[in-house]
């Protein structure tokens, strides 16, 4: 059983060459060759500090519920580092059997036209700095933040959800088929 005087262990993430980190209050900013990612740790019970080329993470207290959050924070920071060095790419397939779907990127939205014959286009929001492009029958979402890329892909998938029809017959939609590192 841990006592209140027991030292809480530190966990470290080492920054690769060419990657810098800065801390402003409880917001961590990581810069790399592909860009910059920011993440606020306001609501997470961990102490974060930067020591040279390492980021140190320790829980607020030795309680188990505070200690288990450290691994989550380590994974978040690791994804931030992979994002600014390699980037993330989600590939989505445009599938239609009844009406040909037209996908266009306009500003910070994706317009999905002629979806199951509808007159008005369905709209999906592009989150943050994610970039969306249409390559033939594929929609490609790229970016440095895995959260922004994943949420943008989810918004596109959600925009093509079909209600009140048999999903075994109406397979039309835009679906994620590949998640890759690299841009």
- Provide the residue-wise pLDDT of the chain in tens; the chain has 183 residues: 444 445 566 888 999 999 999 999 999 999 999 999 999 999 988 899 998 899 999 888 888 888 889 989 999 999 999 999 999 999 999 999 878 999 999 999 999 999 988 899 999 999 999 999 999 999 999 999 999 999 999 999 999 998 888 877 888 999 999 999 987
Domain assignment present for 5? no
Backbone CA torsion sign across 81, 140, 179, 101: positive
Structural domain boundaries, residue 94: 88-181
Nearest to 142 by CA among 92, 183, 83, 93: 183
Report the number of distinct structural domains present in the chain: 2
Question: How many Å is the maximal CA-CA distance in the chain?
Answer: 67
Pair (96, 144) in one structural domain: yes
Taking residue 180's Cβ as centre, other Cβ atoms within 10 Å add up to 13
Domain assignment present for 3? no
Domain assignment present for 6? no
């Amino acid at each position: 059983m841990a006592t209140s005087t027991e030292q809480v262990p530190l966990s470290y993430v080492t920054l690769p060459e060419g990657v810098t980190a800065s801390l402003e209050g409880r917001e961590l900013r990581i810069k790399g060759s592909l860009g910059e990612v920011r993440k606020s740790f306001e609501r997470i019970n961990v102490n974060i500090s930067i020591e040279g080329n390492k980021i140190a993470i320790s829980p607020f207290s030795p309680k188990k519920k505070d200690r288990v959050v450290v691994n989550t924070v380590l994974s978040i920071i690791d994804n931030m580092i992979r994002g600014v060095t390699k980037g993330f790419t989600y590939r989505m397939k445009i599938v239609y059997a009844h009406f040909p779907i037209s996908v266009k990127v306009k500003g910070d939205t994706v317009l999905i036209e002629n979806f199951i014959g509808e007159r008005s286009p369905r709209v999906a929001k592009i989150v943050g700095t994610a970039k969306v492009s249409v390559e033939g029958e594929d929609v490609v979402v790229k970016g440095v933040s895995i959260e922004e890329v994943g949420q943008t892909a989810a918004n596109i998938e959600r925009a093509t959800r079909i209600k009140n029809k048999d999903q075994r017959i109406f397979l039309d939609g835009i679906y994620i088929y590949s998640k890759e590192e690299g841009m």
